[in-house]
Amino acid sequence: MTPLSINVAKARENGQSEETSIYHIALDRRSRLGGDPLETYLGDAFLFATIALPLATVLGPSSSEAPGTLAETQHAALDGISRADLLAALGAAHNLEGYGHPAYSLAGASMIVVPQDYISLPALDFGPAIGTPDCERPPADEWNDFFRRTVILPAAAGTGLKVLVALGEEEMRRLKADEEFEICKGCVIGLATRERTQRKSTAKR
């Protein structure tokens, strides 16, 4: 996933004077906090770990140590989050009015990464009335307007890693033209192209 993150960052980098590439990686707070205080809450319970690296490190040549540096930094940041950190973040999030005006920018070479590969689609069963899911459809459109997500999708039985990347049309062209992308293209099943400012698809619904 790390080489793909670098490819996506290069495609999304807009050539402006950015100095930092920021990654927000989703954490399953429910599993880390245990049952209390979430035992009666049935919804999602995710927070984001924020990781910042110099843009020159992320977008360095393929012969550099960029993939290893990015992976090590991400792992260290995620492993260093304590239960107290999560409880403090939960308290701060309680006072938020909404996510329409995030306190960070996801432009250029910054992105949100949402790992959902912990979900076992073949093991999900909603009983005889509903049955088991054939696929997952991640929310797009309004989510991508705000979050510009890179989603690691659940793996179905007998399949490999699937990644959904929200890119604009010009960004997609840059990604496909990147020779280094060919190295990891075999692991990418779906790429979503969508202009953030274009809402025609939403208006038709």
User: Do 184 and 162 contact (CB within 8 A), yes or no?
Assistant: no
User: Angle CA(166)–CA(168)–CA(174) in degrees, nearest 5?
Assistant: 105
How far does the chain reach from its first CA to its final CA, in angstroms? Answer: 33
User: Angle CA(16)–CA(59)–CA(1) in degrees, nearest 5?
Assistant: 125
- Mean pLDDT score of the chain: 68
Given the structure tokens 């989050």, which residue do they identify? 81
Q: Would you mind telling me the total number of residues written for the chain in this entry?
A: 205
The model's confidence at residue 200, banded by pLDDT at 50, 70 and 90, is very low
Handedness of CA 11, 16, 17, 22 (dihedral sign): negative
Segment 68-82 mean pLDDT: 76
The pLDDT tens digits for 16-30 are 556 777 777 777 666
Segment 201-205 mean pLDDT: 34
Q: Is residue 132 helix, strand or coil? A: coil
Alpha-carbon distance 117 to 125, whole Å? Answer: 17
Percentage, residues of the chain above pLDDT 90: 0
The pLDDT tens digits for 153-198 are 666 555 666 777 777 788 888 888 887 777 666 554 444 444 433 3
- The distance of Cα 175 from the centroid of its chain, to the nearest Å, equals 17
One-letter amino acid of 146: F
Segment 66-73 mean pLDDT: 72
Number of domains in the chain: 1
Segment 50-63 mean pLDDT: 71
One-letter amino acid of 30: R
The pLDDT tens digits for 90-127 are 777 677 777 666 655 566 677 777 777 666 676 778 88
pLDDT value of position 201: 34
pLDDT value of position 3: 72
Question: What CATH number is given to the structural domain containing 149?
Answer: 3.30.559.10
pLDDT value of position 172: 85
| 41 or 26, greater pLDDT | 26
0.75 cut: is pTM over it? no
Alpha-carbon distance 30 to 106, whole Å? Answer: 25
For residue 188, give its domain range. 2-203
pLDDT value of position 4: 76
